[in-house]
A = this chain, B = another copy of it.
């Protein structure tokens, strides 16, 4: 029989398939790519051997992958959404953030981050005049892993509105509503006023939405605030803080909730608020962020 220069072999039975495919890929130049693709083939073949897809099921699976790829456009990435709702994204994030330093865990940057938010003095309200929703007063500290305050950290904050929409999704909100950039003082504190965010659904009009429906899963994320914290001498922290009383807290569709990222949203009856003015019932959130030592890095997309 004719041979070629490329390693391989003729497949005789199910047992020989994986080793022959790996032999064919053995010339991969980049050793890391080879490691990843070898593992992909091993685990992919193990999956197929376990579930023994019929020809029709296999075709349906391939058609699903095609539809997920084709549902991507400039403003939406259905492949990322699929990875999120299967827990792949959270698993990768946890594997890359597992350490014993005590630092606050990271969370996804998410698609609604914008650079260039307005810089505010501590205590400022990031909700536009007359925003509906219960008031929220946030008092947060940025500390190092020894518990010392981190001064002059830059903190980007962004959140959805009380109806679950970010300002860049919602024509009724002013530019940069519910976003702001703060700086920590000598005590590591940054403070602001806002309105309580609401949870919101991921897009359900694509193939991933159909999968969620077949799984009888709701498409909601629980209410949360986003933070990105940059400080000299410390690794940049991109994270989220979830409301402890939010619906769907224990069933986040993208599995983004980590117990260490759940903040206590304390409810206060109507009365004199922490800033001295009389108001309706309101909430306070006190939260400590702990940064690891390191070199500041920037999330993608880069700060503009």
Residues of B within 8 A of A28 (CB): 214-216
Q: With A92-B53, A258-B12 in contact, is A86–B44 under 8 Å at CB?
A: yes
Residue of B nearest to A34 (CB): B215
From A2-10, A122-130, A227-235, give the one contacting chain B.
A2-10
Q: How many copies does the complex hold?
A: 2
Residues of B within 8 A of A218 (CB): 4, 6
Q: Is A89 an interface residue (CB 8 A)?
A: yes
Q: Is A40 an interface residue (CB 8 A)?
A: yes
A79 touches B92 (CB 8 A): no
Q: Is A66 an interface residue (CB 8 A)?
A: yes
Q: With A28-B214, A28-B215, A214-B30 in contact, is A47–B39 under 8 Å at CB?
A: yes
Tier of interface size on chain A: 35 or more
CA distance in complex: A118, B11 (Å): 33
Q: Is A245 an interface residue (CB 8 A)?
A: yes
CA distance in complex: A300, B62 (Å): 15
A287-304 contacts to B, CB under 8 A, are 300
Residue of B nearest to A61 (CB): B36
Contact with B along A216-254 (1 / 0, CB 8 A): 111000100000000000000000000011111111110
B10 touches A86 (CB 8 A): no
A246 touches B40 (CB 8 A): no
Q: With A52-B95, A79-B69, A83-B62 in contact, is A250–B217 under 8 Å at CB?
A: no
- Which residue of B20, B54, B257 contacts A255 across the interface (Cβ within 8 Å)? B20
A1-41 contacts to B, CB under 8 A, are 1-4, 6-14, 17-18, 20-21, 24-25, 27-30, 32-37, 39-41
10 new A-B contacts at CB < 8 Å, known A1-B250, A45-B88, A62-B77? A10-B259, A11-B257, A14-B98, A21-B86, A48-B88, A49-B91, A55-B92, A63-B79, A69-B69, A69-B79
Between-chain CB contacts (< 8 Å), 28 pairs: A1-B250, A2-B246, A2-B248, A2-B250, A4-B248, A6-B217, A10-B250, A11-B255, A11-B257, A12-B259, A12-B260, A18-B87, A18-B91, A21-B86, A24-B253, A27-B217, A28-B216, A39-B50, A40-B86, A45-B87, A53-B95, A54-B96, A55-B96, A62-B77, A62-B79, A68-B69, A69-B79, A70-B72
Q: Which residues of A contact B (CB under 8 A)?
A: 1-4, 6-14, 17-18, 20-21, 24-25, 27-30, 32-37, 39-41, 43-55, 57-59, 61-63, 65-70, 72, 77, 79-80, 83, 86-96, 98, 211, 214-218, 222, 244-253, 255, 257-260, 262, 300
